[in-house]
Each structure stands twice: as structure tokens, then as C-alpha cells.
Structure 1
Amino acid sequence: MTVINSRYEGQLRCQANHEPSGTLLETDAPIDNQGKGERFSPTDLVATALSTCILTIMGIVAERHGWDLSGCSARVEKSMTQEPPRRIALLEVWIELPAHLDEKARKVLQKAGETCPVKLSLEGSVPMQLHWH
């Protein structure tokens, strides 16, 4: 179990403390929802969690196989619904695998990324599209 303590700071800003490490993170409401947009929004963190989870799980698998994952990247685009209630309409992720990986490695890494815990947790609630390059 991991504990994260969050506190409202005012002006639509929150601060979260990751208890195990002491790391602090701040969020802002986005500009299109009455906020300053000076920090990640809570829904930005959901999008970030998806892309970084994919990369992390692929990193674990790559290390297990001795594959160099240097240069691997992910870009995520988050779209919000236009009608109330406000929610994430789509998370679209483009994953760039390093060119030096062979087809077998690419398939193994893609399968690993497709089964990352964040994606599995969001499935059925948030539409997602993953694009592999």
C-alpha cells in the first residue's frame, strides 16, 4: 500500500505528498476550467500515468531480456468531454520504440505496454488508443 497525502492550497491548487519518498507534487485546475493551468491538472496526471506506466513496464521487460530501450518515448494527448459532466473523453498515446529493436522484441514490448496496470485500470472507463511506431 502506498499513501499519498493531498491538501487544498487555495486558488484551485493542490499539493500532494508521496509519503514513501517525501516527493511533493502540485496540481492546478486547467485554464479551460477556471484555473491558472500553471501545473499539471489532475486529469493531466491520469494521462501522464498512462504513458509513463507503459514506458516503465516496457523498461522492466527490456531489462529482463537485456534489450536497450534507450530512445524509447511516449507522447500522450488528452481530450476532455465538451458536455457535462466533465471527464476524459480520450487518451491517445504514440509510443516510439528504438529503431534497433527486432520484430520479436517489438512484439514482446508492445504486449507488455498494452497490459500496464494503469491501462488495465482505466479500461472500460476511459477510451484509449495506443499507436506503436
Structure 2
Amino acid sequence: MNTATARYLGQLRTEATHVASGNVVQTDAPTDNHGRGEAFSPTDLVSAALGSCMMTIMGIVAERRQLNLVDSTFVVRKHMSAEAPRRIAQIDVTFTLPAALSAADRALLERSAATCPVALSLHPDIKQNLVFTYEQ
């Protein structure tokens, strides 16, 4: 079964539909690359996918250990290369998780995040900078 179908809408926009759910995502070229920046760019989606994948894997581990990560958050910042070819050079992901987590649980969750499928699929030249804060 296909994962997604997509079409080009013109004016540097695409629309992708997730086959299994019917959810739709539009992309737009970023303002620094001829676009209007009115939607995720494809590289924004890659960066957001990294954070989402890491949080999902931490969620799986947390459920197994009966830890509550509900309302945990992450912020993603993408850095594009300054030199050609244009590519993602670095992705910073900052997680905010519950302060009540033990040191052992924190270490386990941090290790699990770094081994998510997206993290392991990205080219090794893309620096993945992970920061974990514990505040909730």
C-alpha cells in the first residue's frame, strides 16, 4: 500500500494526502528560496518529523514504564547550509519533559530519542543537537 499521494498546486506548493488516514499536508517553498513561507517547507517537515519521531519513541518507552509524558513539548530549529548545495545542516530539538522523572528514567528516555527511525535515517552530515529540560 502506498504511504502518500501528492500533487503540485503551482506557485511552489504541494499537497500530500496520507493514504491510510486521508490527512492532508500542504507545503510551500520558504521565503529564502522563492516561496511565500505560508506552510511547512519540505525541510521543515523533515525537521518536525525528527522531533515527532523522537517524542513518539519516548512515549512508547514511557508507556512501558508507566510514566506520564502527556503535555511534554518540543521545539525544533532547522539550520540550512550556508554553502551549496542547499541542504539541512543541523536540526536542534529541545524537549521539555516532567521534572518528576527519575535520573534513570531521564537517561533511558534520552537514549531512546536518539535512536528513533528518523534520527537513524538522516544523513550523518546533518548534526542533530538534542537538549532535554525538565520543568513541568
Q: Partner residue of 2:63?
A: 63
Q: Partner residue of 2:36?
A: 36
Q: Given the superposition, is the C-alpha separation of residues 112 and 81 from structure 1 closer, same or farther in structure 2, using an over 3 Å criterion?
A: same
Distance (whole Å) between structure 1 residues aligned to residue 2 and residue 112 of structure 2: 23
Deviations 1:68-87 (A, max 9, x none): 11232111110111222110
Distance (whole Å) between structure 2 residues aligned to residue 34 and residue 49 of structure 1: 23
TM-score (norm 2): 0.92
Deviations 1:34-90 (A, max 9, x none): 001000000000000000111110001101111011232111110111222110011
Aligned 1:1-133 pairs, distance under 5 A: 2-133=2-133
TM-score (norm 1): 0.94
Q: Number of residue pairs matched?
A: 133
Distance (whole Å) between structure 1 residues aligned to residue 49 and residue 2 of structure 2: 15
Unaligned stretches of 5+ in structure 2?
none
CA contact (8 A) 2:51 2:74 kept: yes
Shift of 1:123: 4.4
Distance (whole Å) between structure 2 residues aligned to residue 2 and residue 94 of structure 1: 32
SS in structure 1 opposite 2:118?
helix
Specify the code of the residue in structure 1 equivalent to 2:84. Answer: P
SS in structure 2 opposite 1:20?
coil
Question: Moved runs in structure 1, 4+ residues, more than 2 A?
Answer: none
Unaligned stretches of 5+ in structure 1?
none
